[in-house]
Structure 1
Amino acid sequence: MTARKLPLSELPNAADDEADAAERSRLRRRRRRQRQRRTAIVLAVLVVLFGTSAYLVWDNIARPVVVGFFESNDYEGAGSGTVQVQIEAGDSGRAIGQTLQEADVVKSADAFVEATRSEPRAASIQPGTYLLRAQMSSQAALDLLLDPSSRVSIRAAVPEGLRKDQVFERLQEATGIPLADLEAAATSGEVGLPAEADGDPEGYLFPATYEFEPDVTATEVITQMVERHRQAMESVGVPEELRREVLIKASLIEKEAQLDEDFAKVARVIANRLEIGMPLQLDSTVNYATGKGGITTTPEDRETDSPYNTYKYPGLPPGPISSPGEKALAAALNPAEGDWLYFVAVDPETGETRFAETAEEHAQNVEVFRQWLRENDA
């Protein structure tokens, strides 16, 4: 086959080839730069995304773990300021620790629980309100909870032998609760008085030293005292059907006897007189009827027309005349053995009391008492 000759215009030109090659090279370089820019942008975006994610992971997950691993879960030192914390009856060590953590007294309940493990007395923490400090070490908090002086409470001392109005005055002085509120609470029917009290708290406000929380109410105060009286009755072993009678007798004994050894003897005099129908003739009942005090009564006092006047009316008075303690309750239930019908405190300062079986012997003892009155200008 004979080759066809191309026209001169169709023959390859060296200059054109060089231009095409240059253009192609330029295009390749541009595309390469574009690819590089896109890659750089993608890498930059990836770096930003990775950095943000890493920061979020670190800040929210890793850092707390790392910091928590090296940081103590307990504060150091004695703390500062004051924080009142209420510990409830029956709270476990964990529950107490949680209460302290929520009040920012300790840093963590775990640290407090750990501190209690090496302190055997931790189980003896009493319920109540405590004055602690903010951000104190768990050991320091535990030490304060075991210190009675840290407990914020109201102490009310009610001695034996007071009338209800005198008890209310003591409570008002100790708690700051108004007398009117105490009196209203005592007769509200909400304090646990037994049915035989007929709504009158006289004799049922048990004498003792009480501790109340700072926010205690009048009803809570009276309820606690009435409940303590019920416990005393049970402790002494007074049968339910005899409780009113025993209470009345005990209230008389509490006012008449001074020395422990005389309680059961006074109880015997009362029992002996009641047995033979002899009036009790107790000055303490006359003073209750007249609202007076002191160790003697006048002829006019003894003529007071009141069922509480045991000179004028035989038998027991209709109700108690004071709040008796356990000694008086026990004596009323178990009088001493003896035939005494009389007694008189011949020395009120020492409490010396003489007992007699006959009126003649009693008259001699009364003269000793009168001699004491003369010597003491009483």
Structure 2
Amino acid sequence: MKDAAAEHVDAEEIVPMRGGRRRRKGRGLKSCLAVLVALVVVVGGIAFLGLKGFSVIKDHFGSPEDFAGPGHGKVTFQVHQGDSISTMGQNLKSEGVVASVDAFTAAAATSVIQPGFYPLKKEMKASDAVKVMSDPGNLIKDTVTVQEGLRVTEIVNLLADQTDFSKAQFEKVLQHPAALGLPAYAHGNPEGYLFPATYDIGPDATPKSILQDMVDRWKQAADDADLEGAAAKLGYSPAKLMTVASLVQAEGRGNYMPMIARVIYNRLEGNETNGLLQIDATVNYAADNQLGAVPTSSDLQIDSPYNTYKNAGLPPTPIEAPGDDALHAATHPADGGWYYYVTVNLKTGETKFAETYDEFLKYKDELRQYCATESAGAC
């Protein structure tokens, strides 16, 4: 017996197929209509978007657009720290250097590009732009090297001499030290916190950005030395450890630095010198003498908190900029019971350490003998 519903099927909707099977004619027509509608939408969309629509299709299905080169004009292009290749490509395209992001990213897929400024042109071939940017020798920069042990006034003079900015411009920035990012415990005094290093001065540098870079570099060095952790361990504030580091920088060199740091801590904490550090460099700072000068008798009588011959304890601030070695010495002093040290050979820097005053006097005699020799030079 046939299904009643089957009796009502329109015979025209059923078309015989090979092998005795039948298919519905209406379903095939609907599928064709759907495809036609989709094509109309795509073609209509491209027609509506015009060239832009064609460009989108081309970017997805064709070769990336690229300039023929070699380019024209001048573009100083900056790669920022952390920029991805894609970000570089987007910035290059927005400045008219390359024709498309895809062309640049394809050309730079295996390249290493350092942050900095590069001399490029408008409408360059992407591979030519990559060639320039992957060569560190093409970085646009001036360098300034700030040596360890300089005071802020000396650093300002150096920067004014080796950049396009004046001393007055740097001093104006230093009048508002909060903008430099100094730690709170510096109390707005940059002495000791403008870190000695070699700095790249880019085309967009300003006196403020240069000084900020120096403070940022100090933060990195302080973290490397674990300044705050060491301060807590040694029982001092980070500010006091910075002052110790500046004294170590003024007094020592190389492998002797951790031993000099221990002498300073021993004098601060012991009774041998009644807390007097008796460091010539602090007197020179108070008297505004040249670095390394021998203080006069009158200098030693200066009424100043920086005169460690008259005042027990540390001076109120650092006296110069300590480098990595001095910071590490202040945060990781050597073990020893020394209260004195004497540099017995000024050429080699050989320094001897003593636990007693008598031993110290013996080393002082050794220095006098050294100074008395013809080969020693000025002492």
- Pairwise same-fold verdict (TM > 0.5): yes
1:97 maps to 2:89: yes
**Structure 2 residue aligned with 1:287:** 284
CA separation in 2, counterparts of 1:333 and 1:103? 48
Q: TM-score, normalised by structure 2?
A: 0.74
**Structure 1 residue aligned with 2:323:** 325
CA separation in 1, counterparts of 2:213 and 2:330? 24
The code of the aligned residue for 2:200 comes to E
Alignment of 1:233-252 (within 5 A): 233-239=222-228, 242-252=237-247
Shift of 1:376: 0.4
Task: Mark the CA change 1:98 to 1:72 in structure 2 (over 3 Å): closer, same or farther.
Answer: closer
What is the aligned counterpart of 1:266 among 252, 256, 260? 260
CA separation in 2, counterparts of 1:237 and 1:86? 33
CA separation in 1, counterparts of 2:195 and 2:316? 19
CA separation in 1, counterparts of 2:129 and 2:138? 10
Instruction: Classify the secondary structure of the residue corresponding to 2:227.
Output: coil
CA separation in 2, counterparts of 1:309 and 1:358? 23
Shift of 1:180: 1.9
What is the aligned counterpart of 2:302 among 301, 304, 318? 304
Instruction: Classify the secondary structure of the residue corresponding to 1:149.
Output: helix
Shift of 1:341: 1.0
Q: Report if the CA contact (8 A) 1:187-1:200 is conserved.
A: no
**Structure 1 residue aligned with 2:8:** none
Q: Report if the CA contact (8 A) 1:187-1:199 is conserved.
A: no
CA separation in 2, counterparts of 1:233 and 1:172? 26
Structure with larger Rg: 1
Q: Deviations over 1:212-233 (max 9, x none)?
A: 3222222222222222222322
CA separation in 2, counterparts of 1:249 and 1:82? 50
Q: Report if the CA contact (8 A) 2:225-2:327 is conserved.
A: yes
Task: Mark the CA change 1:337 to 1:89 in structure 2 (over 3 Å): closer, same or farther.
Answer: closer
Q: Report if the CA contact (8 A) 1:98-1:109 is conserved.
A: yes
Shift of 1:371: 3.5
Instruction: Classify the secondary structure of the residue corresponding to 2:179.
Output: coil
**Structure 2 residue aligned with 1:253:** 248
Shift of 1:72: 8.4
Runs of 4+ in 1 over 4 A off after TM superposition: 67-72, 76-81
**Structure 1 residue aligned with 2:25:** none
Q: Report if the CA contact (8 A) 2:64-2:102 is conserved.
A: no
**Structure 2 residue aligned with 1:155:** 143
Task: Mark the CA change 1:304 to 1:134 in structure 2 (over 3 Å): closer, same or farther.
Answer: same
Q: Report if the CA contact (8 A) 1:252-1:321 is conserved.
A: yes
CA separation in 2, counterparts of 1:91 and 1:326? 29
CA separation in 1, counterparts of 2:197 and 2:289? 24
Q: How many residues align?
A: 313
CA separation in 1, counterparts of 2:179 and 2:96? 38
**Structure 2 residue aligned with 1:36:** none
**Structure 2 residue aligned with 1:179:** 167
| CA RMSD across the alignment | 2.8
Alignment of 1:78-157 (within 5 A): 79=71, 82-117=74-109, 119=110, 121-122=111-112, 125-157=113-145
The code of the aligned residue for 1:130 comes to Y
Q: Which moved more, 1:238-247 or 1:101-110?
A: 101-110
Identity fraction in percent? 40
Q: Deviations over 1:290-348 (max 9, x none)?
A: 11123522222222221111112121111110111232222212221111111121222
Shift of 1:77: 5.9
Q: Report if the CA contact (8 A) 1:233-1:243 is conserved.
A: no
The code of the aligned residue for 1:157 comes to T
Task: Mark the CA change 1:76 to 1:376 in structure 2 (over 3 Å): closer, same or farther.
Answer: same
CA separation in 2, counterparts of 1:370 and 1:314? 28
CA separation in 1, counterparts of 2:324 and 2:192? 12
Q: Report if the CA contact (8 A) 1:157-1:209 is conserved.
A: yes
Q: Report if the CA contact (8 A) 2:287-2:299 is conserved.
A: yes
